[in-house]
Structure 1
Amino acid sequence: MLEDLLRDHDGVITLAQARQIGMSDQSVRRRTRSKRWRRCGPGVYFADDRPFTDAARIRAAVWSFGARACASGLAAAWWHGATKYAPATVEVTVPKSSNGRTRPGTRLRRRDLSSRDVVERDGLRVTALALSVVEAAVRRGGGAQLMDHALQRHVEIAHLWKVHLRNKGRHGSPAARRLLRAAEDGARSEAERILVKLLREAGFTGWETNYPVAGYKVDVAFVEEKVAIEVDGWAFHSDSEVFQGDRNRQNVIALHGWKVLRFTWLDLTQYPRRVLAEIAAATGRDL
């Protein structure tokens, strides 16, 4: 029973779980003294005969704050598979009445969550997928890309709005609202405005918006240099027909001697310096 429990829980076990399968406190202490088990927090241990994986690290961090704690933010998003990379710092949410303190490698948030917003997955309490996505997207290391990815594969925008409104006032709530609004309309028009603002602030001249090229209108054109800049919205709005149409359009424009640059809302909002550098390189301008 012990080996099954350790295997199913990434090598992590609590004192309460050990007692439930018949182990004595003395047996637990003996394993700790002999360094077969490593103490990870109050009443939480790791069997040190296996790799200490990201899953083990997150599980141990959450369990060390007690039975009512749950993973949240980027840690929860990773646990759900909504992002590829486990965060270095594990965000843990506990009820307001809890007494625990933040420990190295963790970030503690105190709030009372609705039962609708907490699930158990692989034996660990985590915020439900929709809340995890909304919160992780406004954490450093998350961003619009995480939300866009989740909307393409895992959740619907309506579900994200519901959970956001149900949890107003939490850390990062205003930023989440802005992201949801951008996602809702695809952010294409907003992306075009941001591009024009970037070009003006960087001092670029000689460009026109909605310029006709080969029967199409490109979003921004540097006419003399024959550089066309196209703006995309959020990927989750795209379907295969739109994707194919965009590529055909790009090929036709390129065959008429134009160099085509494509930027997304994500590029323009999170990597504006890179966008400007690429435009400068394509047009032969100095920034």
Structure 2
Amino acid sequence: MSDLDELRALQHGVVSRAQVLAAGVTVDALLWAIRSRRWRRVHAGVYATFTGPLPFEAQVWAAVLRAGRGAAASHRTAAYLDGLCDDAGPVIHVTVPASRYVEPRIDGVRVHFARRLPTTRHPSKNPPRTRIDETVLDLVDVAPHPREAEGWVTAACQRRLTTPDRLADALARRKKIRWRPMTEAMLADVADGAQSPLELRHLRRVERAHGLPAGCRQRRITGSRVSWIDVDYDEYRVRVELDGRIGHTGEGRFRDRRRDNRATVDGHATLRYGHADVFGDACGVAAEHVRVLRARGWTGRPRSCGPSCRVRFHDHQGSVGR
């Protein structure tokens, strides 16, 4: 293969003008390829050497080549390439070294600048992209809401693309990042077994905020079939299931019902909550927890999380609520 053929194979059929000329192709030959519509211009100085739609990887290569030396796919684009998300979004995200000037307006491309890009760019992956831990933190940094930041961290750990320890190391190397205190706490929570923003919210806003006993998270239960308990207060035979929208409809709903029924037969109480419960009324959820735990032997003292909290400690018998 010629040098140009190798580049075309590596870069999904996309090449830059500088690469074409360096491979020995003359300017006249390049212009002929474009005029004959064998090749076509994607961005200024960047060409697709084939006809038909551009696959996603070719679009990424075109954006990286247009951005120039040292550029790498980043943010949601890098997340999609590495399997962190299932939707690439409407634009290609590219980061370039902060020391370089790049025209920020490139059709279909959003350009970011970073001082640490030489160390945060993955050394070998193609198309060039940021390392997965840096991609997660980039997305946390631009997240408009803390719940979205939680989603990126938990998705990366749930899909086994990284670990809380690796993310914590990458976070420590960053001088500035949005949502830092929350992210540091969240990484510790994920390491303790919380697997989703819903579970993180339950851990912080229901359990810890109201002084409840510490539950065992993601506990593996074996029997006729293996099952997992989201939060298990084993000493008091109370289980909490936190249901997201995925996996709890159709057959998933009946599977949950059978699991709850088996737990009841075995003497366990099961409390089940969704996003609207935990995010919308954490104090109400905590109050229900206290009632059930009290009835099953918990003698601890719950606490109010604020002036309007529905959890109250009234007497030695442990009645709660307003």
Q: TM-score range by the shorter chain?
A: 0.5 to 0.7
Corresponding position: 1:136 with 2:139 = yes
Structure having the higher strand fraction is 1
**Residue 27, structure 1, aligned to residue 29, structure 2:** yes
Q: Distance in 2 between matches of 1:24 and 1:267?
A: 67
Partner of 1:154: 161
Map 1:180-259 onto structure 2 (within 5 A). Answer: 180-186=184-190, 188=199, 190-192=201-203, 194=205, 216-219=237-240, 230-231=241-242, 250-253=260-263
% identity of equivalent residues = 24
The alpha-carbon deviation at position 5 of structure 1 amounts to 2.7
Q: Shift in Å at residue 161 of structure 1?
A: 1.5
- Which of 98, 105, 108 pairs up with 1:105? 108
Deviation at 1:179, TM superposition (A): 3.4
Which AA in structure 2 matches 1:13?
Answer: V
| Change in 2 beyond 3 A, CA 1:126/1:263 | same
Conserved? CA contact 1:253–1:260, under 8 Å: no
| Aligned partners of 1:94 and 1:108 also within 8 Å | yes
| Aligned-partner Cα distance in 1 for 2:200–2:12 | 46
Is the counterpart of residue 175 in structure 1 residue 175 in structure 2? no
Structure 2 equivalent of residue 56 of structure 1:
58
Post-superposition offset of 1:16:
2.1
- Displacement of 1:64 after TM fit? 0.4
AA of the residue aligned to 2:51: D
TM-score, normalised to structure 2's length? Answer: 0.59
- Length, aligned pairs only: 232
Distance 1:267 1:5 in 2: 54
Q: Which residue of 2 aligns with 1:119?
A: 122
SS in structure 2 at match of 1:93: strand
CA-based RMSD of the aligned residues comes to 3.9
In 2, the alpha carbon distance for the partners of 1:176 and 1:57 equals 33
Partner SS state of residue 94, structure 1: strand
Which stretch shows the higher mean deviation, 31-40 or 136-145? 136-145
Asked whether the 8 Å contact 2:70–2:118 carries over to 1, the reply is: no
Report the CA distance between 1:13 and its aligned residue: 0.7
Post-superposition CA distance 1:257-278 (Å, at most 9, x none): 98863547x9956xx69xx9xx
CA deviation map 1:102-155 (0-9, x unaligned)? 223222222211533112444433211210122234556975344323224121
Q: Is the 8 A contact 1:231 1:263 kept in 2?
A: yes
**Structure 2: which 5+ residue stretches go unaligned?**
208-230, 245-255, 285-322
Is 1:18 aligned to 2:28, yes or no? no
Aligned residue type for 1:217: V
Structure of greater relative contact order (alpha carbons < 8 Å, 6+ residues apart): 1
Cα distance, 1:261–1:70 mapped onto 2, change above 3 Å: same
TM-score normalised by structure 1 residue count: 0.65
> For 1:94 and 1:189, how far apart are their aligned partners in 2?
34
Distance in 2 of aligned mates of 1:158 and 1:247: 36
How big is the shift at 1:249?
A: 6.4
Aligned to 1:9: 11
In structure 2, the residue corresponding to 1:127 is in which secondary structure? coil
Task: Provide the secondary structure at the position in 2 that maps to 1:119.
Answer: coil
Partner of 2:170: 163
Paired letter, 1:130:
D
Amino acid at match of 1:105: G
1:80-119: CA deviations, max 9, x gaps?
2332322322222122232222223222222211533112
The one-letter code of the counterpart of 1:216 is: R
Task: Report the structure number with the largest CA radius of gyration.
Answer: 2
Aligned equivalents of 1:261 and 1:88: distance in 2? 37
Change (3 A) 1:247 1:19: farther
Shift of residue 59, structure 1, vs aligned partner: 1.4
SS class of match (2:129): strand
